[in-house]
């Protein structure tokens, strides 16, 4: 039997995560099945399970990819640009409608009765906090923001600002206003 090369595994994981994003957006997390995701990319459900044994595993992979995308956007802010605007830009997929925030809120509700989802969301939040805290330290070192007196608290406040902005957009729409408020609030928290 031929060996599967690592590049193929990485490509397969990417295709699966991309398909899961599409299916979760279209059907919602609860209604989406592993069969739906397998059908989306044209593989058997068994092949899908080789890479991701549960939907919660897929959720974690999607969140990790999103985190990487955000970090790539933020890297540019280490040297130039408006830090608050740039950080607000990380929600562009939500502002533009490419990502449905209702899926996240469905997951939060589902986590009350599903320990796997609760664990995946908790680990995602923890990883987001670590990434944000490291990023704030890098901004400080480069003189892009003033010294953060309490990085752990500032990190938690910023995460809540991002989450609150997404919730505000879901409930009220008004993307331009939500974005403007987020930038103003980030400037305040960061002392800019």
Q: What is the pLDDT of residues 132-181, one digit of tens each?
A: 999 999 999 999 999 998 999 999 999 999 988 888 877 776 778 888 99
Domain coordinates in residue numbering, the chain: 1-53, 63-190
Q: What would the two tokens of residue 128 be?
A: 């987001």
Note the pLDDT of residue 1.
45
As a whole number of Å, the end-to-end CA separation of the chain is: 60
58 closest CA partner among 71, 48, 67: 48
User: Which tokens hold the place of 45?
Assistant: 């459900």
**CATH 1.10.10.60 is held by the domain 1-53:** yes
Surface-to-core class of residue 80, CB atoms within 10 Å of its CB (0-12 exposed, 13-18 middle, 19+ buried): exposed
Q: Are 61 and 37 in contact (CB under 8 A)?
A: no
- Asked if the model's pLDDT at residue 90 lies above 70, the reply is yes
Strand stretches in 61-130, DSSP E: none
The CATH number of the structural domain formed by 63-190 is 1.10.357.10
Confidence of residue 35 (pLDDT cuts 50, 70, 90): very high
| Region of poorest pLDDT, from 104-118, 143-157, 178-192 | 104-118
Cα separation, 5 vs 41, whole angstroms: 20
């Amino acid at each position: 039997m031929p060996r599967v090369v690592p590049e193929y595994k990485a490509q397969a994981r990417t295709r699966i995560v991309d398909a899961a994003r599409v299916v979760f957006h279209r059907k919602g997390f609860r209604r989406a099945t592993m069969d739906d995701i397998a059908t989306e990319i044209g593989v058997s459900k068994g092949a899908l399970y080789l890479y991701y044994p549960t939907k919660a595993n897929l959720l974690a992979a999607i969140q990790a990819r999103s985190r990487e995308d955000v970090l790539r956007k933020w890297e540019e802010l280490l040297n130039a640009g408006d830090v608050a605007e740039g950080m607000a830009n990380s929600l562009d997929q939500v502002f533009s409608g490419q990502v449905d925030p209702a899926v996240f809120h469905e997951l939060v509700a589902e986590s009350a009765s599903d320990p796997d989802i609760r664990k995946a969301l908790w680990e995602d939040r923890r990883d987001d906090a670590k990434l944000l805290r490291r990023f704030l330290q890098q901004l400080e070192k480069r003189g892009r923001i003033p010294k953060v007196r309490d990085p752990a608290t500032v990190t938690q406040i910023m995460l809540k600002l991002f989450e609150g902005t997404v919730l505000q957009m879901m409930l009220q729409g008004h993307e331009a206003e939500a974005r403007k408020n987020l930038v103003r609030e980030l400037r305040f928290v960061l002392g800019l």
